[in-house]
């Protein structure tokens, strides 16, 4: 391996399309998708809807826009969205929930981005009191990003769904890394399709497409989403070139996520064995969060690794994040493990 090659572990969004994916892209049949005349986009949407056993699906340029569209279609201005304090929709979408939909977020103090049915019940209590914002939507994230790739227990999700239904709340899943959860827990998309009103999935994270997310839901919800996507500026034209990357990713890059998870476990084992690491959070999928000795310091550690062309992310409060992905090769893995052991 060349000495100056960069090992980029900042996120699973850093991947570039493989040769085969690029070939699928350049040979795609395209048309004007605003007139629903792009056959490849239609194929991707039908494929995804079928995969999840949901009625319909819509292709989006980003996960943020797919989530923001879901929030918009489930709420009215002044309403309340209930989510974990770590939620991407609250922390990382630029205040979009407030800006686009005029909703406030009720944050639940969960564990690694996940909360319990009991906590949800407490958060919904007093829904009919006119003093408090009207609860209309519950958003959960699987896997949790800020929670270090943690996966929900399916039985807890079933309980949350029951509570949401009983209280007339819509139930949205931010599934940017849902396939990581499904692979790690050996679950299938249809189980999730049956539980949620809407689901967003990212094609550009672990699945390795350059762009794209999908929102899944009922025909009624997706018809509304189509209007909102236009309003948000997300209606695209000959976008089948990108949809082709998504189709290729769904066909070829789901099962291999297990390799990313395996590498994450091996990195975790090394981190737990070295004296300068004070804590490694539970690793369930492709995200590793750990802490180094205060005498070294997170920023300093990240800078030292950067000098070796190994890129990691600070996550605040002394936390350091590593994310494994499609472009993180076995060769890079050997180099990383060696550098971590020798630090
Ligand atoms: C990455 C991510 C998104 C969407 O991000 P985009 O960069 O807009 O595609 C949404 N939710 C979670 C949990 C994410 O990790």
- The per-residue pLDDT for range 15-69, each reduced to its tens digit, is 999 999 999 999 999 999 999 999 999 999 999 999 999 999 999 999 999 999 9
In this predicted structure, the answer to whether residue 316 has a pLDDT above a threshold of 90 is no
In angstroms, the CA 326 to CA 15 distance is 7
Q: Whose CA is nearest to atom 14 of ligand 1?
A: 176
Tokens at 193, concatenated: 């399709």
326 and 180 belong to one structural domain: no
Q: Which numbered atom of ligand 1 lies nearest the CA of 202?
A: 9
26 and 87 belong to one structural domain: yes
In this predicted structure, the answer to whether residue 185 has a pLDDT above a threshold of 70 is yes
In this predicted structure, the answer to whether residue 4 has a pLDDT above a threshold of 80 is no
C-beta 64 within 6 A of ligand 1: yes
C-beta 180 within 6 A of ligand 1: no
In a domain, 2, yes or no: no
C-beta 69 within 6 A of ligand 1: no
In a domain, 130, yes or no: yes
- The pLDDT assigned to 338 comes to 97
pLDDT tens-digit profile of 317-333?
899 999 999 999 999 99
In this predicted structure, the answer to whether residue 2 has a pLDDT above a threshold of 90 is no
pLDDT tens-digit profile of 214-259?
999 999 999 999 999 999 999 999 999 999 999 999 999 999 999 9
C-beta 40 within 6 A of ligand 1: no
Mutation test residue for ligand 1: of 92, 96, 211, the one with most atoms within 8 Å of CB: 92
In angstroms, the CA 339 to CA 101 distance is 47
pLDDT tens-digit profile of 281-306?
999 999 999 999 999 999 999 999 99
CB 256 within 8 A of CB 236: no
- The pLDDT assigned to 277 comes to 98
In a domain, 180, yes or no: yes
DSSP bridge partners of 216: 57, 199
283 and 195 belong to one structural domain: no
In angstroms, the CA 317 to CA 39 distance is 47
Mean per-residue pLDDT of the chain? 97
Q: Whose CA is nearest to atom 2 of ligand 1?
A: 176
Mutation test residue for ligand 1: of 60, 61, 64, the one with most atoms within 8 Å of CB: 64
133 and 54 belong to one structural domain: yes
DSSP bridge partners of 138: 82, 171
In a domain, 192, yes or no: yes
Q: Packing angle between helix 63-74 and helix 219-231, nearest 10 degrees?
A: 120
- Of 233, 252, 271, which residue sits at a domain end? 252
| DSSP one-letter string for 59-106 | EES-HHHHHHHHHHHH--TT-EEEEETT-HHHHSSTTHHHHHH--EEE
- The pLDDT assigned to 311 comes to 98
268 and 171 belong to one structural domain: no
In a domain, 193, yes or no: yes
Tokens at 125, concatenated: 């209590």
The candidate with the shortest Cα–Cα distance to 56, out of 45, 41, 64, 65, is 45
Exposure on the CB side of residue 165, measured as CA atoms within 13 A: 10
290 and 238 belong to one structural domain: no
CB 68 within 8 A of CB 100: yes
In angstroms, the CA 171 to CA 192 distance is 11
Q: Which numbered atom of ligand 1 lies nearest the CA of 174?
A: 11
88 and 235 belong to one structural domain: yes
Bridging pattern class, strands 287-292 and 320-323: antiparallel
61 and 136 belong to one structural domain: yes
Percentage helix, strand, coil, to 5, in the chain? 45, 20, 40
In a domain, 198, yes or no: yes
In this predicted structure, the answer to whether residue 1 has a pLDDT above a threshold of 70 is no
pTM, two decimals, is 0.97
Ligand 1 mean position, distance from CA 172 (Å) = 14
Q: Whose CA is nearest to atom 3 of ligand 1?
A: 63
C-beta 62 within 6 A of ligand 1: yes
In a domain, 1, yes or no: no
pLDDT tens-digit profile of 68-83?
999 999 999 999 999 9
C-beta 145 within 6 A of ligand 1: yes
Reduced to 3 states (helix: H, G, I; strand: E, B; else coil), residue 148 is: coil
CATH number at residue 91: 3.40.640.10
87 and 25 belong to one structural domain: yes
Mutation test residue for ligand 1: of 88, 139, 206, the one with most atoms within 8 Å of CB: 88
- The pLDDT assigned to 126 comes to 83
- The pLDDT assigned to 127 comes to 82
- Of 206, 225, 252, which residue sits at a domain end? 252
For residue 37, the Cα-to-chain-centroid distance in whole angstroms is 29
Angle at 102 (CA atoms; ends 101, 108), nearest 5 degrees: 95
pLDDT tens-digit profile of 114-165?
999 999 999 998 888 899 999 999 999 999 999 999 999 999 999 999 999 9
Ligand 1 mean position, distance from CA 205 (Å) = 8
Q: Whose CA is nearest to atom 6 of ligand 1?
A: 63
Report how far apart, in Å, the C-alpha atoms of 201 and of each of 159, 253, 301 are.
Answer: 22, 14, 33
In a domain, 277, yes or no: yes
- The pLDDT assigned to 178 comes to 98
In this predicted structure, the answer to whether residue 170 has a pLDDT above a threshold of 60 is yes
152 and 282 belong to one structural domain: no
Average pLDDT over residues 246-274: 98
In this predicted structure, the answer to whether residue 280 has a pLDDT above a threshold of 90 is yes
239 and 261 belong to one structural domain: no
- The number of folded domains in the chain is 2
E-assigned strands of the chain? Answer: 7-8, 56-60, 80-84, 104-108, 135-141, 170-175, 198-202, 213-217, 277-280, 287-292, 310-311, 313-314, 320-323
C-beta 144 within 6 A of ligand 1: no
- Of 252, 287, 319, which residue sits at a domain end? 252
C-beta 213 within 6 A of ligand 1: yes
Percent of the chain with pLDDT over 90: 96
For residue 180, the Cα-to-chain-centroid distance in whole angstroms is 9
CATH number at residue 271: 3.90.1150.10
Residues listed for the chain: 343
In angstroms, the CA 266 to CA 328 distance is 13
160 and 43 belong to one structural domain: yes
- Where in the sequence is the domain holding 238, given as residue range(s)? 19-252
pLDDT tens-digit profile of 144-154?
999 999 999 99
């Amino acid at each position: 391996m060349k000495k100056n090659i960069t090992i980029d572990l900042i996120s699973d969004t850093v991947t570039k399309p493989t040769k085969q994916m690029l070939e699928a892209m350049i040979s795609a049949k395209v048309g004007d998708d605003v007139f629903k005349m792009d056959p490849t986009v239609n194929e991707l949407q039908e494929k995804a809807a079928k995969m999840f056993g949901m009625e319909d699906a819509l292709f989006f340029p980003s996960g943020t826009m797919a989530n923001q569209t879901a929030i918009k279609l489930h709420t009215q201005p002044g309403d309340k969205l209930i989510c974990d304090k770590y939620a991407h929709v609250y922390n990382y979408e630029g205040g979009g929930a407030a800006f686009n939909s005029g909703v406030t977020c009720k944050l639940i103090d969960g564990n690694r981005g996940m909360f319990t049915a009991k906590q949800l019940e407490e958060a919904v209590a007093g829904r009919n009191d006119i003093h408090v914002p009207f609860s209309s939507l519950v958003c959960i994230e699987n896997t949790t990003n800020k929670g270090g790739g943690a996966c929900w227990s399916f039985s807890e999700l079933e309980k949350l769904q029951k509570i949401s239904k009983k209280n007339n709340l819509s139930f949205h899943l931010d599934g940017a890394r849902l396939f990581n959860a499904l692979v790690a827990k050996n679950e299938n998309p249809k189980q999730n399709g049956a539980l949620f009103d809407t689901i967003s999935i990212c094609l550009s994270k672990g699945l390795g497409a350059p762009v794209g997310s999908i929102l899944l839901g009922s025909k009624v919800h997706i018809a509304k989403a189509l209007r909102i996507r236009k309003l948000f500026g997300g209606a695209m034209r000959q976008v089948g070139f990108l949809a082709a990357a998504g189709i290729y990713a769904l066909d070829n890059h789901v099962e291999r996520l297990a390799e990313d998870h395996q590498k994450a476990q091996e990195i975790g084992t090394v981190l737990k064995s070295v004296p300068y690491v004070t804590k490694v959070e539970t690793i369930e999928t492709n995200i590793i969060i750990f802490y180094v000795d205060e005498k070294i310091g997170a920023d300093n550690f990240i800078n030292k690794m950067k000098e070796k062309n190994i890129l990691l992310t600070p996550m605040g409060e002394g936390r350091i994040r590593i994310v494994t992905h499609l472009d993180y090769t076995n060769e890079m893995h050997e180099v990383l493990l060696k550098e971590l052991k020798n630090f």
